[in-house]
Structure 1
Amino acid sequence: MEIVTSADGTPIATRTIGAGPTVVIVGGALSTARDAGALAQAFADAGLRAVTYDRRARGDSGDATVADPSREAEDLAAVISASGSDAAVVGHSSGAVLALYAAGEGVSMTRLFLSEPPFRFGVDDPASDLADRLQALVDDGRPGDAVVLFQREGVGLPDAFIEQFRASPAFEQVAPLGRSTVYDTLVTKRVSTPTAAMLRVRMSVTILRGSETMPILVAAASRLAAAMPDAEFVEVPESIGHRMDPEATARVVADRLI
């Protein structure tokens, strides 16, 4: 593990594996760099140098007093800069939203891969005060309840699934990430509809979608592809249930970088 210092002084923990063209992986909601381990290994096996990192308020990374998506764009810029001047970015879910937002803000990257970004294009957006209510739960020492609220209102998961997950051992590992839900809510709220700057980024863009995923993500990928006519759309049949298949995704990325 290595520590990169972001623009505001926040420490960001990174991990690197493999050799070849550099790919920075940006994870989605309620995930850490460790969750991207299998994907990073598949990239390394395919001849790539994979960099994973804990987004702020997660894992071994730090945080700021006030949550702001702009800080996360600066974090990604710092990770890319520390990994070398030429790096592609693979973002998944809210990590894909963040990656395209960062590119629109001028963060330098050679190529962009967007896996199932949950852009809503202003349709059925979560309540405008969701981030405030999530922060209030965190401030009250209830990060697990913030996770549950985020899953219910931010993601739209059914209560039966949430309760089953809450009763599982996995919930104890995810509960400490409650503060990170504030960041995911804020970035997806800020760019529910991609900005003009995001839609006209200069690097090549590949939009990835699994064959079996949530309807909202199918719609989002289609609308984003239509809004970015120069972008490439690739369906990855092996990616199921809003999870990136490591080997299949590595093949798509490596074919375009090596």
Structure 2
Amino acid sequence: MQKVTSADGTTIAYERSGSGPRLILVPGALCDRSALRPLADELSDQFDVVTYDRRGRGDSGDSTTYSVQREVDDIGALLTALGGTAAVYGHSSGAALVVAAASAGLPFTKVVLHEPPYGPDDVDSEDDGAAVLQLIEQGRRRDAVELFLLMAGMPSQAAIQTASAPGIVELAHTLAYDFAVVGHGADGRVPVDLIGRIKQPALVVAGTASPPFMVDAAHRVAKHLLAAELVELADQDHVVPPEILAPVLSEFLSRR
């Protein structure tokens, strides 16, 4: 494990594996860097892969005041430590964070967005998000995690089991960060203005068995990117086995 200091003084923990072109993996909600380590292992024979703990998770520090810009700064600090540029892959809310970072001008070489969980333009999910945050404030962290997972389309029994998994409840407070990231620029809907600023070659990934709103969001995101292609993974849901996902990423990232 290595550490870098972000612009506000927060320490960000990260790991590197493999060799080749640099690639940063950005995890989604309720995940630390260990969640993407299996994918990093699959990619490390071709890439210099970086997994990191987003602020408030794992071995990274946090600040008393959160902002999406501070998470963008965290990635900027990683880029500086790595030598200035890298390709980037974001999963779920991590993909929404990549949108924020790329649209702010961070020097990514290529961008991969895996099911950023933006909501439909005609549906307001603000009340559900407020309910999750209220449960966290009440100290009902497990209930908050369960509600969040149900909102994300997870079946009830699976949500209960996931919320009971070791280490998950400890990350519940960072759901507030994920809501802020997904809401950045368009109140939870596809942030067309931000996406239009992304100039890098981009890949959007969706699984055909994922919740319909996520598949729909992937299509809408791809439509508004300047240089993008969309890949649908047959019969895959929101979490894709690394041995299936890695070849898709490798093929795109290895193109000249």
TM value normalised by structure 2: 0.89
Identity %: 38
Distance 2:212 2:205 in 1: 15
Letter aligned with residue 245 of structure 1: P
Q: Deviations over 1:121-174 (max 9, x none)?
A: 43323225835x555544554433332232244x254544433444x5x2x321
Number of aligned residues:
251
What residue ranges of structure 1 are gaps of 5+ in the alignment? none
Q: Deviations over 1:207-239 (max 9, x none)?
A: 1112321111111111112222531112233x7
Distance 1:156 1:123, change over 3 A: farther
CA contact (8 A) 1:51 1:83 kept: no
What residue ranges of structure 2 are gaps of 5+ in the alignment? none
Distance 2:128 2:158 in 1: 24
Distance 1:245 1:165, change over 3 A: closer
1:7-86 residue pairs with structure 2 within 5 A?
Answer: 7-45=7-45, 47-86=46-85
> Shift of residue 111 of structure 1?
0.5
TM value normalised by structure 1: 0.88
Correspondence for 1:256 among 247, 252, 255: 252
Correspondence for 2:174 among 180, 183, 201: 180
Equivalence for 1:227: 224
Correspondence for 1:246 among 210, 221, 242: 242
Distance 2:76 2:136 in 1: 27
Equivalence for 1:202: 199
Q: Deviations over 1:4-63 (max 9, x none)?
A: 111111111101000000100001111110111110001103x11110001111111111
Distance 1:218 1:165 in 2: 22
Q: Considering only aligned residues, what root-mean-square deviation do their CA atoms show, in Å?
A: 2.1
Q: Deviations over 1:87-131 (max 9, x none)?
A: 000001110111011111122211101111112243323225835
CA contact (8 A) 1:144 1:176 kept: no
CA contact (8 A) 1:134 1:146 kept: yes
